[in-house]
């Protein structure tokens, strides 16, 4: 099955836009922005697979657009191809030095655009596949901590711009060291896999994100979620794991496997970082443990 890619064209010339769109629209989803700042806004909104960027724009130059896109973590890695009538080697060199991956000079043919764009999209697809494998936890097949940190930065940035709430739930399997010691690491690995699967299946919104945070800890990001909504989701996760009825017959436990959860929620303001947000969830997790485990806590 062919992969449909999102392509953003940033160009104010309707003739050029029509030529490019006609060349690509059959196998891709094509979006259009007719100014530089609008192009930056759309790129942050949809995160396209590739941007075709004119240099001569009505508000700011394509060079400035490229600089802006490369300055934001959410758009930094989007491939940019300059499409322009500037035809000197110095112009091309400047564009490439700013981080563009290609430079197509006008006038151009639809066949040339299609071929060069397809080559770049194929390269991006292969790169994305490798990057995806690097961000997966091999045991649980969930995103790993590195992927979680990238996702949190992205969601945090969107919440800042749009003044939206964001919540996280940090989970820790209760007495997991004792479980490992009593049943062995193979059983411990199976337990982690089952807990990971249960958490994932407990989430129903496409935007909700779960990752293995490390060891026996998992973390859930819930964008656009109020405190009460997040507590309901976290409590459902806790109950579903408890209802697995995984025996935990260590001499000091004599019970079933459970989890403790710390919940934090905020509406991030501009120029704030998410480190304190994570620390709050971590404090609430340990408070849940101090209160007896198998519960959630939100200050």
Residues β-bridged to residue 5 = 28
Tokens 């151009």 -> residue: 108
CA nearest to 83, candidates 59, 51, 111: 51
- Nearest CA to 46 out of 66, 62, 30 is that of 30
292: helix, coil or strand? coil
Catalytic annotation present for 229: no
H helix runs in 52-109, sequence order: 62-71, 89-97
Measured distance CA(284)–CA(152) in Å, rounded? 18
d(CA 99, CA 77): 9
How far apart CA 269 and CA 224 sit, in angstroms, is 14
- Residue tagged active-site, from 149, 165, 216, 217: 216
| Cα–Cα distance, 207 to 277 (Å, whole number) | 19
Dihedral (Cα; 136, 101, 45, 65), 10-degree rounding: 140
83-86: long-range pairs with CB below 8 Å, 24+ = 83/11, 83/16, 83/20, 83/52, 83/53, 83/54, 83/108, 83/113, 84/54, 84/55, 84/56, 85/56, 86/55, 86/56
Which residues are tagged catalytic? 216
């Amino acid at each position: 099955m062919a992969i449909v890619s999102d392509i953003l064209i940033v160009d104010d010339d309707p003739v050029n836009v029509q030529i490019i769109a006609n060349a690509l629209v059959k196998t891709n989803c094509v979006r259009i922005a007719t100014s530089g700042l609008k192009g930056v806004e759309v790129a942050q909104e949809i995160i396209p697979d590739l941007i075709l960027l004119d240099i001569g724009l009505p508000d700011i130059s394509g060079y400035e657009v490229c600089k802006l896109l490369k300055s934001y973590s959410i758009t930094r890695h989007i491939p940019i191809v300059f499409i322009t009538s500037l035809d000197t080697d110095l112009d091309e060199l400047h564009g490439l030095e700013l981080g563009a991956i290609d430079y197509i000079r006008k006038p151009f043919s639809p066949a040339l655009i299609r071929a060069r764009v397809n080559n770049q999209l194929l390269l991006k697809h292969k790169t994305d596949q490798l990057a995806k494998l690097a961000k997966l936890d091999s045991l649980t097949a969930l995103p790993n901590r590195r992927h979680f940190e990238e996702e949190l930065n992205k969601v945090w940035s969107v919440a800042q711009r749009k003044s939206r709430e964001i919540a996280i739930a940090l989970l820790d399997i209760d007495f997991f060291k004792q479980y490992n010691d009593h049943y062995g690491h193979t059983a411990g690995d199976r337990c982690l896999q089952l807990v990971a699967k249960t958490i994932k299946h407990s989430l129903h919104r496409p935007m909700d994100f779960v990752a293995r945070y490390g060891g026996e800890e998992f973390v859930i990001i819930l964008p656009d979620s109020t405190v009460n909504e997040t507590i309901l989701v976290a409590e459902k996760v806790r109950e579903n794991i408890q209802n697995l009825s995984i025996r935990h017959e260590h001499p000091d436990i004599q019970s079933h496997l459970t989890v403790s959860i710390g919940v934090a929620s905020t509406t991030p303001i501009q120029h704030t970082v998410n480190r304190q947000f994570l620390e709050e969830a971590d404090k609430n997790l340990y408070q849940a443990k101090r209160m007896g485990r198998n519960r959630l806590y939100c200050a």
